[in-house]
Amino acid sequence: MATKQQLSAIKGAKVLMVGAGGIGCELLKTLALSGFQDIHIIDMDTIEVSNLNRQFLFRQSHVGQSKAKVARDAVLKFSPQISITSYHANVKDPDFNVDFFKQFNVVLNGLDNLDARRHVNRLCLAAAVPLVESGTTGFLGQVTVHMKGKTECYECQPKPAPKTYPVCTITSTPSKFVHCIVWAKDLLFTKMFGDKNQENDLNVRSSDASSSSEHAEDVFERKTDEDIEQYGKRIYDHVFGYNIEVALTNEETWKNRNRPRPIYIRDVPSTELIQENGNVDKIFVADDPLSVSAMASLGLKNPQDVWSLMENSRIFLEALKLFFVKREKEIGRLTFDKDDQLAVEFVTAAANIRAVSFGIPFHSLFEAKGIAGNIVHAVATTNAIISGLIVIEAIKVLQNDASNYRMTYCLEHPSKKMLLMPVEPFEPNKSCYVCSETPLLLEVNTYRSKLRDFVEKIVKAKLGMNFPLIMHGSALLYEVGDDLEEDMAANYAANLDKVLSELPSPVTGGTILTVEDLQQELSCNINIKHREEFDEEKEPDGMILSGWMQAPPKEKENNKISSDNGASTSNASPAVPLETEEDNEIEIVLTGAENVAAGNKRKLSDISNAATSDLCSVADKTNSKNKPEELDDDDDLVMLDDGNSNTSKKKRLR
C-alpha cells in the first residue's frame, strides 16, 4: 500500500516513457494503475504481427499503426482520468531536445537499441533529469538508475561491440552457419533485390566473360528475353558453382582448410527440379506482399523441418521466381526484413546450399530466421516484472530516496534462493568521456584517412553523435545543420573528402580535436596519434579509439551472454556486421551472485558467477548449434560479449 508521500509524489509527477514495445506496454499499464497522472510516451515504431504475442495492448486490427498512439488509446479505456500524450516519432528528432527533457521529473527507458539509449542518457545528463534504464531477454532482465553526479551514467561501463566478420571470411572461407547467413542476407539478397548501386563484394563476372573489361557483364542482370526459370538456374550455377570454383583456384587458401565443393543445378538429386516447383498463379496473395511464400507454393509447412539439398534448391528457385513475378515493383529497393516470409525463405535456402559446399550442417528455417533476425522469443512475464521494478525505482527517484536506489537483475535460476538480485548503484566512472569529460585517444594514419572516415567510423558510429561539430583549436572543420549558409555547408562537405593532414587546419600526430553534439549538449576532446599501419582483419576501420566505453568483441563462443533489447546494418564494408536492428538490449554485467548477500555494498566482480552461467545457458538453450551475434527488435536475441575486465574497479555509491 502506497504511503501518502508516495501518492503525492506519483500524482504530481510528469513522466517521460521512451519506447512502447514489450517493456513499454507493461510499463504504461503499470504507471496508469499506480496512479501516475501525466505520462508522455515516444515511439517511432509501428505494430507488427510478431509483436502481438507479448505486447498485450495491441490487437491484430492495430497492425501497421503507431505503437505510441495505440498504447495510449488502449490504456485510456481503463484509466480515462489520466493524461497520456503520445509521440509517433524518433526520440533523436531535434524536437526532443534538452529543453523538452527538462520538463519531466523522471525518464523511463523501454528502448530497443543501444544508439537511442546513449542519446537519451546524454539528454538526461544535460537536462539533469533522472533516468531509469531497463532491458529484458527471455527470462533475464535488469533495471538500473542513473542520476547525474550521484550514480554512474548509462555509458560509464563498457557496452559490448557488435560482432563483425572480415569480408574474406564471408565471401571465401566460411566455417560457421552464421557466416553463410551473413553472405546470403547482406551480400546475395542485397545484390539480387536491393540497391544495385550499393557496393557489394560478390563476384559478378560470369564464367564465359573474357578478360576484357568491356565484356565483364554483371551476371546478376536479367537479360531482356530471359525466362525466369533460366535466370534462376543461371544465378544458382554462378553463386554456388562457378564462384566456388574461382575460390578453389587460390591453392594457398586451402592448404590448411577443407576444400569446398561447387554445386550446380545438375548436381541436385532431382532431374525435374525446375518443373517440380510450384505454380505461382495458384498462390493466394493477400494485400500484404510479405505474406507471399515459397513454402506455401511448394506445400512445405513446418518451419522447423531441416530441408534437404533438393528442397533448399527448390525453395531458392521458387522464392527468386516469386520475387520477380509477385513483387517485381519492389526489386531494387528491398532490404532484408525478418518479418518478410519470402525474404527469410530465400536467405535460409541460399545459406543452406552454401553451407553444403563448405561442409557445414543444414539448419531449419526456424533456426536460420533466429540467426538472420537475431530472434529469441520474449517472455511476457519478464517484461511485467521489469516494468514493476522500473515503477518502484521511479517512485524512489521522485521521493529523492537515493539511499534506497537499486540496480535489480532478474535471473533465470535462483541464487541464494532469489530470482531478483538487487545491487546498490555505482559512483560515476571518472574515466567516462560522457559524464566525466575524459579525453580520448585516436590512433590513425593522418596521411591516408579522410575526415569522412573520422566522422562516419568514430564520431557517429562509436561516439553516437547525431549533429557533430568538429574543431581544431579555433578552426571549425565540420558542422551539420539546416541553418548553415550554402557556402559554409559546401566548404564542410568538401572537407569530408580531404585527408586529415591536408585539411585547412591540418590534423597530424599531437593534434587535439574537440567534437561536440549541440543537440545532446555533449563535448569531448580527442588526442590524435599518427600510426602508419593497421591490421586489415583485426582493425578494419583503419583507426583505433581508446578510452571510450565499448568493450571489444571476443572470439570465444562460450564467453558470450545474450541480450534482447540494441542496431546497425551491414554495408559490405571490409568487415560485414550481422544486423543489430532495434533491441531491448540487456547488458547484464554480472559475474557472481551466489556467494554475496543481496543489497550489500560490494564490487560488481563479487556478484554471481552463477548469474553469468544463467545468461550463457539461455543462449545455449535458445540455439545450441548457432548463436545469433547481434541485437534486434525487443523480440530478438543478440549475443553480447562479456566485457567485465574493469568492473572490479567500480565503486559503490556511498
Binding-site residues for Zn(2+) sit at 153, 156, 432, 435
Q: What is the distance between the alpha carbons of residues 139 and 615, in angstroms, rounded to a whole number?
A: 9
Q: Which of 356, 172, 191 is closest to 264 using CA atoms?
A: 356
In sequence order, the β-bridge partners of residue 512 are: 527
Binding site: what residues are annotated?
19-24, 43, 51-54, 67, 112-117, 153, 156, 432, 435
Helix (H, G, I), strand (E, B) or coil at 380: helix
Residue 144 phi, psi (nearest 5)? -130, 150
CB contact at 8 A, 607 and 346: no
| Helix 309-326 and helix 341-357, axial crossing angle in degrees, nearest 10 | 140
CB contact at 8 A, 522 and 122: yes
C-alpha cell at 647: 568492473
Tell me, what amino acid is at 597? A
Residue with cell 528455417: 365
Residue with cell 498512439: 69
Within a 13 Å sphere around the CA of 555, how many CA atoms are in the beta-carbon half? 4
C-alpha cell at 179: 557466416
| Helix 365-372 and helix 341-357, axial crossing angle in degrees, nearest 10 | 100
Contacts with 561 (C-beta within 8 Å, 6 or more apart), sequence order: 588, 612, 615, 616, 619, 639, 640, 641, 642
The Cα-based distances of 352 to 51, 76, 154, 435, 630 in angstroms read: 28, 48, 40, 47, 20
CB contact at 8 A, 331 and 325: no
Q: What is the distance between the alpha carbons of residues 609 and 616, in angstroms, rounded to a whole number?
A: 11
Residue with cell 525435374: 272
Q: What is the distance between the alpha carbons of residues 336 and 321, in angstroms, rounded to a whole number?
A: 17
Q: In sequence order, what E strands does 95-139 have?
A: 106-109, 131-137
C-alpha cell at 207: 564464367
Helix (H, G, I), strand (E, B) or coil at 140: strand
Please count the other Cβ atoms lying within 10 Å of the Cβ belonging to residue 349.
Answer: 26
What phi-psi label fits residue 176: left (phi over 0), alpha (psi between -120 and 50 degrees) or beta? beta
Which residues form the catalytic set? 168
Binding site for ATP: what residues are annotated?
19-24, 43, 51-54, 67, 112-117
Please count the other Cβ atoms lying within 10 Å of the Cβ belonging to residue 491.
Answer: 16
